[in-house]
Structure 1
Amino acid sequence: MNLSKKTFLYSAIISGTIVTLMISYFVLMIPSLYVDYIKKLNFESIKAVQANYLRDGNYTNISSRNLSGTATIKVPMEGNSIFASNMLGSIKINIDDEELLKIIEKIRYYSENPESINEEDKESFDFSKFKKKFFNNDIFKDNPPITFEVLEEEKVTNYKKVSSKINIINENFVIYEYNVADNNNSYTTYMAISRDNGDIIISILPIMNPEIGEIRPIIFQSLPMIIAISLLIILISTSLFSRKIVNPIEKLVKHANFMKSNTNYYVEPIEVYGEDEIAVLACTLNELYSKLNKAFNELEEKNKYLLHQNERQEVFLRGSSHQLKTPVAASLLLLEGMIDEVGKYKNTKEYLPKVKMQVLSMSNIINELLDASKKQEEIISNNIKIESIITESLLSHEIQLKLKEINLIKEIEAVEIISNSEILYKMIDNIISNSINYTPKSGNIKIILSKDSFKVINYGVKIEESLLPHIFDAFVSSNSENSGHGLGLYIVSYYSKLLNYNVDIRNIENGVEAIVYF
């Protein structure tokens, strides 16, 4: 999923969560909060009515949530009269019935001694007799239990008509709706009128309408909590979402900084999770680093090869110039002596062959240098029988072997390998030539060929221990009279690297062993 889809999904989840939270809050919490608020409002309203009546003794300055349904009764501590007041005025009620007077006396007593009241006393307030007597059809004919006396009329609250509407339910059923309002509240009176079997049925329902202002404080009271929870959800979810995006980017930045300071251009690949743009970028960087690392390694190998070539050329230039100086100088001296006919050099037949030997020595040095300079990319491998290469090399040295009366011991297996025949011949030939050159007259040479190695052991000789660490360097040779120009083993070592072979020369008991590992 790409980043745009992730962002859209994140926004949808956050919006859905907040909307669900608000709906749940309004459905589950607002009704109970509203009921609790109305109870507190009614409680404060009756407190205000009582306090204003105690201060003024009338309803002139009293305001109530339902003023038309509010009334106050004053019971004097003496006498048989009580007083009732509301928004319409005040009346005096004279009580002449003995049973009603007893109830009034109990009220007076317990108002002065509230600690005396108990459950039994509560049951003594039996109003059933009062109801029975008060609602007797004949009670008001001759001797009524109570009489009323209007003391004063209050200023009646002005009701203003707001609206009216007739709702026709069916042809025999009509509901008349009448809406009025005073300074504090609005009221609706419903009058239902129906015809039934020739009779007219009328039902009346007066109610006080709830005000929109009653719910507004609940909403304002709830807003801080709703805002706080919403912000908390947004902050937490945004933090988690941003870390989900930022963490991989920071990882890429650290990886790039590491690569910038890395000298070998090798680093573990970046772990890739997901399929968004950041994951694609990580994969691209992994591919880039892999290619850079490969190019760097190739460049390193080429640099090493060029460095090796430069060092080798430098050694060749120094060594060849030094090595060629001796035969050139000797040849010049011999030629000058013969030209000037100085002393024994008059005998040109004797000394011209010596000049030829010096020229041939220079020619051999030059040829070996040219062979050693052969480039690696010129190597072509094919199937080779090593036994035939050994035989060919021994034939080329047959005269030397006979002149030195060397005893040759051969343990040769039939081995075929894939390699370059020309280079392998020069390696084997140089080892055999070197062995013949350093083996004393009538000495023994042993040649062993197996599947994984080629060995030449010449007995009766030793290599100076000081020369062993440098035995494969160019122009390194012993001080013996049979020593050559010091390029043979260097060429063997150089060619072994081209063919990825290993070469080792070491002293053994009563001899020297040269080994080539295929």
Structure 2
Amino acid sequence: MNLSKKTFVYSAIISGTIVTLMIAYFLLMLPSLYVDHMKKSNFKTIKSIQENYINDGNYKNISSSNPAGTATIKIPATGNAVFISNKLISVKININDKEILKVIEKVRYYAAHREEIKNIDKKDFDFTSNTVIVFKDKLFKDNFPLTFEFLENDYKNIYTETSSKFNVVNDDTVIFESNVSDGSNYYTNYIAISIHKDDTILSVFTAMTPKIGEIRPIIIQSLPMIIATALLLILVSTILFSRKIVLPIEKLVNHAVFMKENSNMEIELMKIEGQDEIAVLGDTLNELYLKLNDNFKELEKKNNYLAEQNKRQEVFLRASSHQLKTPVAAALLLVEGMIDEIGKYKDVKAHLPKVKLQLKSMRKIIDDILNLNNSIEAIYKETININEIIDESLTYHEVQVKLKGLTVNVEKEINFTNINTDRKLIFKIIDNLINNAITYTPKEGNIKITLTQGALTIINYGAFIDSELLPHIFDPFVSSNNENRGHGLGLYIVAYYASLLNYQVEVKNIDAGVEVSVFFTNTKILRG
């Protein structure tokens, strides 16, 4: 259910509840309030009638909701006369019966001694029984106990007809309706006339017409409670409804703050029930978070890649500068020997090609430096003859080998000569291993190079790596502590390029020296 429909449903529920309560109020409470109001109104009416009659002595200025049922009796302090007045008539009644006069005397007594009213015997004022006793066998006799004298007044006809109409009920019955007013109240007189089996039947009924003014005070009196109840209900319903709407929004805000402050890139999706617009917004934010997380991971991956490339370039620069030293040193030795015409170096023509070879080696390294921007994706694998790589590296280091009087033995497996790899990187790996072996092998020592199926092993006899250095042998600037201590980049460069080609490198001490192996099938680098 979308938000507009949900709002409509909540509003309908609130409106229905308010209407139900108001209907229940008008059906259950309003009648009782009306009854209570009419009782109070009638009490005020009789009080007003009594006060006005005392002041005026007549009904000219007195109004009553039921003029026909309202009357005032005046009992003089002495005598046997009683005056009765109402809106319709004013009459003087002379009492000729002793029994009735006794009752009148009791009324005079208790009226003068109101403090004794609480001790009154109600049977003395039972006019029903007294009437039977007084009027029994005396009706229409000369000694009738009462004498009536109608007094003159100018307000006998108090009713004015306001409207009338005939209502035809059926072919045999009509009802005449006449509306009259006494100036304060309205009455409706109904006369029903029917013909039934040639008989004429008449029914008369008189009713007071309700006035809207009678109920208006009740409504005005009830308005504060109605308004308070409606406001309370609306307030509570609005709070509940607003919380129902606001809570998911607060959840969205809190989750957004969490995602903003989250640095570990862990995504915890929101769970919002329903199918309204807020739920759709929550799902959209979840999708946005997932997409941003993927973008962040991709960006982090690229950053790591760039860091790796920067590291590779740094290593490449270090390796290249490290490798440049070898041909530079060899070329200098040859040139100095030829300049000083020392021994065999007098034969310039014989040694100049070697100088040229060292210069080519330097040019090759410089060309590699100029191509530093080559990324891992630029690795070009091809079928390489490992024997040629070994021979090429030994040729570059021929001068150093001869100067130290080293013996290099190369054992090659005939069936294993080719490998699918990047020529530049595999050359750097093998050349650094051979250079390390030459550097750390004692003078007139032996180096053994063995090429077997899937592995290259180089042993430099007479060398040894301290046990505390062996676990860190592939870290940069870590070198054996001896007189031929180098820059500590050889094995670091080997390990790095081996990782790019997914090769495994292993270094360990053996009984006669140090053994370094390169396995062309695994990716993990082992530290022996």
User: TM-score interval w.r.t. the shorter chain?
Assistant: 0.7 to 0.9
Distance 1:367 1:88, change over 3 A: closer
What residue is the counterpart of 2:247 in the other structure?
Answer: 247
SS state at 2:180 partner: strand
**CA distance change for structure 1 residues 149 and 193 in 2, over 3 Å: closer, same or farther?**
same
Distance 2:426 2:318 in 1: 27
Structure 1 counterpart of 2:217, one-letter code: P
Instruction: Give the counterpart letter for 1:463 in structure 2.
Output: I
2:150 aligned with 1:155: no
Match of 1:179 in 2: 179
Q: Give the aligned residue type for 1:471.
A: I
Query: Quick one: distance in 2 between partners of 1:138 and 1:46?
Result: 35
Cα distance in 2 for partners of 1:456, 1:130 equals: 149
Whole-angstrom distance in 2 between the partners of 1:121 and 1:352: 161
Q: Deviations over 1:27-63 (max 9, x none)?
A: 2222222222222211111111011112222222212
Equivalent residue, structure 2, for 1:164:
164
- Secondary structure of the residue aligned to 1:107 is helix
1:493 aligns with 2:492: no
More deviation, 252-261/182-191: 252-261
Judged with a 3 Å threshold, the aligned counterparts in structure 2 of structure 1 residues 213 and 485 are, in CA distance, closer, same or farther, namely closer
Partner of 2:520: none
1:176-233 CA-to-partner distances (Å, cap 9, x unmatched) read 2221112101112222334556654433222221112212222222233223322322
- Which residue pairs with 2:398 in the alignment? none
The AA in structure 1 aligned to 2:111 is S
Q: Check 1:501–1:337 CA distance in 2 against 1; reply closer, same or farther (3 A cut).
A: closer
Per the alignment, residue 473 of structure 2 pairs with: 471
Change (3 A) 1:182 1:454: farther
Contact 2:447 2:459 in 1 (8 A): no
Q: Tell me if the contact between 2:436 and 2:490 (Cα under 8 Å) persists in the aligned partners.
A: no
Classify 1:52/1:462 alpha carbon distance in 2 versus 1 (closer, same or farther; 3 Å).
Answer: farther
Going from structure 1 to structure 2, the CA distance change for 1:173 and 1:366 (only over 3 Å counts) comes to closer
CA pair 264-98 structure 1, distance change in 2 beyond 3 A = same
Secondary structure at 1:29's aligned position in 2?
Answer: helix
Cα distance change on mapping 1:291 and 1:460 into 2, 3 Å: farther
What is residue 127 of structure 2 aligned with on the other side? 127
Structure 2 residue 21 is the aligned partner of structure 1 residue 21: yes
1:319 and 1:475 in contact (8 A); partners too? no
2:491 maps to a residue whose letter is L
Tell me, yes or no, if structure 1 residue 273 matches structure 2 residue 268.
Answer: no
Superposed CA offset, 1:85-126 (max 9, x none): 112343221111121122222222333445545688223434
CA RMSD between the two structures: 4.9
Structure 2: distance between partners of 1:366 and 1:90? 143
What letter corresponds to residue 93 of structure 1 in structure 2?
I
Contact kept, 8 Å, 1:443 with 1:460, in 2: the verdict is no
The equivalent of 1:415 in structure 2 is: none
Aligned-pair distance for 1:139? Answer: 2.5
- Matched position secondary structure for 2:132: helix
Q: Residue 191 of structure 1: SS of its match in structure 2?
A: strand
Name the residue aligned to 2:109. Answer: 109
CA contact (8 A) 1:323 1:485 kept: no
Cα-to-partner distance string for 1:250-275 (whole Å, 9 max, x where unaligned): 44344445555666665533333222
Cα distance, 1:157 vs structure 2:
5.3
* Deviation at residue 497 of structure 1 after TM alignment: 3.6
Flag the 1:27–1:511 CA change in 2: closer, same or farther, 3 A.
Answer: farther
The aligned counterpart of 2:80 is 80
Check conservation: 1:265, 1:292, Cα contact below 8 A.
no
CA contact (8 A) 1:319 1:474 kept: no
Contact 2:93 2:149 in 1 (8 A): yes
Change (3 A) 1:185 1:512: farther
Residue 191 of structure 2 is matched in structure 1 by 191
Tell me whether 1:285 sits opposite 2:280 in the alignment: no
Q: Partners in 1 of 2:352 and 2:456 — Cα distance? A: 41
- Deviation of 1:161 after TM superposition, in Å, equals 1.1
Answer whether contact 1:431 1:456 (CA < 8 A) is retained.
Answer: no
CA distance in structure 1 between the aligned counterparts of 2:72 and 2:499, rounded to whole angstroms: 121
Query: Residues 355-374 of structure 1 correspond to what in structure 2 (within 5 A)?
Result: 355=355
Q: Is the 8 A contact 1:160 1:180 kept in 2?
A: yes
Q: Which moves more between the two structures, 27-36 or 196-205?
A: 196-205
Unaligned runs of 5+ in 2: 395-400, 412-418, 518-523
Tell me the distance in 2 between the aligned counterparts of 1:147 and 1:501.
144
1:448-499 deviations in Å (ceiling 9; x for gaps): x9xxx99999897543578668633567644657778865422332145436
1:225 counterpart SS class: helix
Change (3 A) 1:429 1:339: closer
Aligned equivalents of 1:222, 1:457: Cα separation in 2: 110
- Relative to structure 2, which stretch is displaced further, 500-509 or 210-219? 500-509
For residues 66 and 239 of structure 1, what CA distance do their matches in structure 2 show? 52
Q: CA deviation at 1:148?
A: 1.8
**Structure-1 separation of matches of 2:458 and 2:76:** 144
Identity within the alignment, %: 58
Report if the CA contact (8 A) 1:430-1:488 is conserved: no
Residue 238 of structure 1 aligns to a residue in which SS?
helix
- Name which of structure 1's ranges 462-471 and 201-210 shifts more when overlaid on structure 2: 462-471
Partner of 2:415: none
Q: TM-score, normalised by structure 1?
A: 0.75
Listed as ranges, the matches of 1:379-418 within 5 Å are none
Aligned to 2:71: 71
Partner Cα separation in structure 1 for residue 432 and residue 316 of structure 2: 20
Secondary structure of 1:489's match? helix
Q: 1:381 to 1:328 in 2, by over 3 A?
A: closer
- Opposite residue 139 of structure 1, the aligned amino acid is L
Deviation of 1:279 after TM superposition, in Å, equals 1.9
Aligned residues: 496
User: Residues of 2 paired with 1:85 and 1:377: CA distance?
Assistant: 124
Within 1, Cα distance between the matches of 2:280 and 2:428? 53
The 2-side partners of 1:119 and 1:223 are apart by: 45
Deviation at 1:72, TM superposition (A): 0.4
TM-score by length of 2: 0.74
Asked if structure 2 preserves the Cα contact closer than 8 Å seen for 1:315 and 1:474, the reply is: no
On the 8 A contact 2:509/2:515 being kept in 1, the answer is yes
Most deviating of 207-216 and 337-346: 337-346
Q: For residues 260 and 94 of structure 2, what CA distance do their matches in structure 1 show?
A: 107
Question: Given the superposition, is the C-alpha separation of residues 275 and 172 from structure 1 closer, same or farther in structure 2, using an over 3 Å criterion?
Answer: closer
3-state DSSP of counterpart to 1:153: coil
Deviation at 1:310, TM superposition (A): 2.7
Partners of 2:447 and 2:461 within 8 A in 1? yes
